[in-house]
Amino acid sequence: MSGQLTPKKRLLSFSTLEKWKDFSLALPALLLLAIFTYFPLISSFYISLTNWDLIKPIKKFVGLLNYERLLKDDQFYRVLKITFTYTVLDVALSLLIGLGMALLFNHRSKAFGAMRLLIFMPYYISMVIASMVFVWILNPEYGVLNKALEVFGIDKVFWLNDTSTALWSVVSVSVWKGVGFVMIIFIAGLRSIPTEYYEASSIDGASKWRQLIHITIPLLSPTTLFLIITSFISSMQVFQSVSVMTGGGPLGSTKVMVMWIYEMAFVQFKAGKASALVIIFFFIIIFFTFVQFSLSKRKVHYEG
């Protein structure tokens, strides 16, 4: 009969229906992404083309003037350098210490499980609270660290008020808080490596050091790449610890990009210029993330 659907048409219709069903399941997440990510980004780009003080409703269109002023501003490159320095220190120290702890505590026992839990617990502490604790620890007069140094005859150090130690002090909070997470991810990566590789290399007379260099580290490269990318993006956006511990000081030695954006928008009321800085900073993070992916293609070893 001409009114009946052929089997081919029924199959096509069912396939199309399944695709729409899959899309409908992802629609709420896509909608939230559009509302809280893409719309603010588009709005920021529009505001970056204006001269707006956040108070008056009128936004005077100035084109790319805000971008031009920022790229000619020496402070932009100084703040960017501080942000990169912080990020490199935070990512490098977190990965090195986290890997060391993963190798040390990768044992299936209740005692080692308890130790892993204690190391991981700071990850759940608010960054503001962690920063306030470190402000107390690093206090030059009654801080625990200076009191401990006095035992060894070392004079008190003004950790947060010295340009040579302030940034390191802020980095230490982030490393202390995040190293447990890095350790847990590395342990998961270690346990995914087949034991046959170690058994075969032991028969060939390979030492533990050679196993680490030639088996463990290469096969951990996908895990390492994941941690580098996520840690890089997170560290570049540091704000809370700097705001609580130093406020960008002393002498601007810890003023990072997000803090400068905040000051520009909500202290100086230069919303247009701050939005331009947001857009520039966004593309800087995207660019360096892409570079890391590109450089890792030959060095990341996926098993299988």
Q: Mean pLDDT across the stretch 3-28?
A: 65
- Mean predicted confidence (pLDDT) in 104-118: 87
Query: Using CA atoms, how far apart are residues 93 and 87, in angstroms rounded to an integer?
Result: 10
Question: Residue 194 above 60 pLDDT?
Answer: yes
Note whether residue 117 is domain-resident: yes
Overall domain count for the chain: 2
Q: Say if residue 94 is in the same domain as residue 241.
A: yes
Give me the mean pLDDT over the 251-259 stretch: 95
Domain that holds residue 38: 7-48
Is a pLDDT exceeding 80 seen at residue 17? no
Strand partners, 51: 60
Asked if residue 89 belongs to a domain, the reply is yes
215 within a domain of the structure (yes/no):
yes
Please, are residues 66 and 79 in contact by the beta-carbon 8 Å criterion? no
> Do 176 and 230 fall within a single domain?
yes
Task: State residue 1's pLDDT score.
Answer: 46
Percent above pLDDT 90 for the chain: 61
- Asked if 184 and 113 touch (Cβ cutoff 8 Å), the reply is no
Q: Residues 115, 162: one domain?
A: yes
pLDDT at position 16 is: 72
Q: Are 15 and 135 contained in the same domain?
A: no
**21, 74: one domain:** no
What pTM does this model have?
0.88
Question: Same domain, yes or no, for 33 and 137?
Answer: no
Q: Quick check: 268 pLDDT over 80?
A: yes
Q: Are residues 36 and 137 in the same domain?
A: no
What rounded mean pLDDT belongs to the chain?
A: 89
The whole-number average pLDDT for the span 81-94 is: 97
Question: pLDDT-derived band of residue 129, with 50, 70 and 90 as boundaries?
Answer: very high
Q: What is the pLDDT of residue 299?
A: 66
**Are residues 202 and 139 part of one domain?**
yes
Radius of gyration of the chain (CA): 26
121 and 262, same domain (yes or no): yes
What percent of the chain lies above the pLDDT cut of 70?
92
The whole-angstrom separation of Cα 88 and Cα 80 is 12
Number of other CB atoms surrounding residue 173 within 10 Å:
26
Report the C-alpha gap between 110 and 116 in whole angstroms: 10
The answer to whether residue 189 sits within a structural domain is yes
* Gap between the Cα atoms of 126 and 160, Å rounded: 20
Q: Give a yes or no: residue 302 inside a domain.
A: no
126 and 36 in one domain?
A: no
- Length of the chain, in residues: 304
> What does the pLDDT average to over 179-206?
91
Model pLDDT, residue 302: 61
Q: What is the structure's pLDDT at 2? A: 47
State both tokens at 260.
């400068």
Residue 218 lies in a domain: yes
Mean pLDDT of the 264-281 span = 94
User: What is the per-residue pLDDT for 13?
Assistant: 62
Indicate whether 21 pLDDT > 80: no
Tell whether the model's pLDDT for residue 10 goes beyond 80: no
Q: Answer for the pair 240, 170: CB distance below 8 angstroms, yes or no.
A: no
For residue 205, pLDDT over 80 is answered with: yes
pLDDT bracket for residue 237 (50, 70, 90): very high
pLDDT band for 14, please (50, 70, 90 cuts).
Answer: low
The pLDDT of residue 29: 86
For 199-203, 235-239, 272-276, which range has the lowest pLDDT when averaged over its residues?
199-203
Domain-located, residue 23: yes
- Give the model's confidence band at 239: pLDDT under 50 very low, under 70 low, under 90 confident, else very high: very high
Rounded to whole angstroms, how far apart are CA atoms 109 and 241?
35
